[in-house]
Amino acid sequence: MKQIIAGVIVLLSLVSCGNKKANIDPFASITNLVDSAKNEQADSTNIEKASDEPKPIEADESFDDFIYNFASDNALQKQRVVFPLPYYNLDHASKIEKKFWKHDALFSKQSYYTLLFDREEDMDLVGDTSLTSVQMEWIFIKKRMVKKYYFERIKGAWMLEAINLRPIEENENEDFVEFFGHFASDTIFQRQRIREPLLFVTTDPDDDFSILETTLELDQWFAFRPALPVDKLSNINYGQKNSDRSSHKILALKGVGNGFSNILYFQRRENGWELYKFEDTSI
């Protein structure tokens, strides 16, 4: 018993002496381990939160590259939609929750898509890497409706922020969408609305790097013309103006990964819209 008491006294003495040299925490090692685990857990949580945020990819530099990836990749599409997504159907506003979202292939399953411009210089906006706001549109010709997708580039990553479905505004002059629906589906009407001779621009068959500018007779147009969309048009608004009052419209038909490229130039005259120039620079 005396030996035990003596041992306790010695131990207390050692602890007391040690305290004079430093304030030693006997649980320091355990505390450090706990703190380390907490830090690791916090870091892990931050990583998880960061992983939930959309990370820019190479395709984000060009909206055209992004929109094709967005339309064809289901996983990427879900990452690039701001949920719950505002959806405006005429005067009715709602929001789409992520669990109810269905993949939207846009135009990726078509052989080509279309673009609308009022001026030739606006076509230079295609491929502009400085854009931060772009709208992709479906123009339903027969239903006279427009479905618009609003994209914003946030921290370098393109995100879909809203969808708006609205009617096409009525115009006192001949409406281009209405005209084009008639032009694309009625060959008799088409003959009446083509300027003769028709300006024609194409690649030189003997030199792919040279451009030929010539003219086509009416029957030659029907031999060279592309298949025209009759139900709906797509459009990507990079910032160009598409005014209902414009006297010129340019409809570009761009192939989806197949080198197809046709451009139709229209002008509104007293008797209505007419095609005055056709460009085929397909590869």
For residue range 2-25, list pLDDT tens digits in order. Answer: 444 444 334 344 334 444 433 334
Residue 35's pLDDT is what? 47
Residue-wise pLDDT for 39-63, tens only, equals: 444 443 444 344 567 889 999 999 9
Pairing of strands 92-96, 85-89: antiparallel
Of residues 149 and 242, more confidence is placed in 149
Band (241; pLDDT cuts 50, 70, 90): confident
- Share above pLDDT 70 across residues of the chain, in percent, rounded to a whole number: 81
Band (113; pLDDT cuts 50, 70, 90): very high
CA–centroid distance for 266 within its chain = 27
CA distance 241 to 117: 7
Residue 22's pLDDT is what? 39
Mean pLDDT of 111-120: 97
Band (29; pLDDT cuts 50, 70, 90): very low
Domain positions in the chain are: 59-111+119-167, 176-280
Q: Which CATH architecture has domain 176-280?
A: Roll (3.10)
Residue 151's pLDDT is what? 98
Mean pLDDT of 243-249: 92
Residue 172's pLDDT is what? 56
Long-range contacts of range 225-232, CB-CB < 8 Å, 24 or more positions apart? 225/278, 226/253, 226/260, 226/262, 226/280, 228/183, 228/184, 229/114, 229/141, 229/184, 230/141, 230/181, 230/184, 230/185, 231/140, 231/141, 231/142, 232/138, 232/139, 232/140, 232/141
Q: For residue 196, is pLDDT > 90?
A: yes
Of residues 37 and 273, more confidence is placed in 273
Band (220; pLDDT cuts 50, 70, 90): very high
* Verdict on whether the full-model pTM lies above 0.85: no
* Identical fold between 59-111+119-167 and 176-280: yes
Band (94; pLDDT cuts 50, 70, 90): very high
For domain 59-111+119-167, give the CATH number. 3.10.450
Mean pLDDT of 158-165: 98
